[in-house]
Amino acid sequence: MDPMAQAFAYYTFDDAQGRMVYTGGNVQEKYFHNDTTFAFGFRTPDDAWENRWRKGHNALLGWDPALPGSGNGAKSLGQEFGASDAFASCQVEKVFRTVCLRNPQDQADRDEITTMAGSFRASGYKLKQAFTDTETFFKPKKPDATLWAAEARKHVETIQTAVAAGKWDEAKTTAGTLQQSCGRCHGQYRERFDDGSFRYKPGN
């Protein structure tokens, strides 16, 4: 079995309860399906995992050398992925597309993504910083879009504060407002194709 999938050995979804269930110290039965097909094969003993992607082609994802590349449980596996260069780049590219309504296209865009990714990591992975950096980059091009991005950043700050305080209803309500803020800009500047992709409306 994939040596990273073992991190979830103590988790399963309980249909009756409608939620995830954690059984610390007890490997879920699903890990032993068809275990008699090859009786001498590997049996999952615990939730230890190992990231073998650190070697070979997948090393390009930029794994953090300060981390060991192995551990126990889903939390440490999440930290492994979250500390990678690929994760930071992915998140700031999402913000870039939200604000700029397009993918990074030229070298200037790609350089900005690299800079934003570094700033995002240095801020402790706060999306607020990514929105701020994108606003600064995009402001000379589309002032009104930048204003909407600033509004979106404020909504993100409100959501972060609400989540930290355990105010889930407030976070949910603000998330809806955030979607509306994004929608104004998207409605103004982009059009959707049948395949689900977007482009700038002609003249923008």
The tens digit of pLDDT for each residue in 59-75 reads 999 999 999 999 999 99
Q: Please tell me whether residue 140 adopts helix, strand or coil conformation.
A: coil
Determine the Cα–Cα distance for residues 85 and 64; give it in Å rounded to an integer.
Answer: 8
* Its pTM surpasses 0.75: no
Q: According to the model, what pLDDT value does residue 196 have?
A: 64
Q: According to the model, what pLDDT value does residue 69 have?
A: 96
**Angle between helix 127-138 and helix 143-164 axes, rounded to 10 deg:** 170
Q: Is 146 in contact with 95 (CB distance < 8 Å)?
A: no
Determine the Cα–Cα distance for residues 132 and 155; give it in Å rounded to an integer.
Answer: 13
How long is the chain? 204
Residues whose CB is less than 8 angstroms from the CB of residue 57 and which lie 6 or more positions away in sequence, other chains included: none
Query: Which residues are 14's β-sheet partners?
Result: 19
CA-to-CA separations, 63 to 83, 95, 180, in angstroms, rounded: 7, 22, 36
More confident residue, 80 or 175: 80
CA-to-CA separations, 41 to 1, 3, 9, 98, in angstroms, rounded: 10, 14, 17, 47
Q: Which two tokens stand for residue 197?
A: 């992709």
What are the percentages of helix, strand and coil residues in the chain, rounded to 5? Answer: 55, 10, 35
Q: According to the model, what pLDDT value does residue 45 have?
A: 92
Determine the Cα–Cα distance for residues 182 and 204; give it in Å rounded to an integer.
Answer: 17
Number of Cβ within a 10 Å radius of residue 44: 16
More confident residue, 186 or 19: 19
Classify residue 14 as exposed, middle or buried by CB count within 10 Å of its CB (0-12, 13-18, 19+).
Answer: exposed
Whether the per-residue pLDDT at 27 is higher than 80: the answer is yes
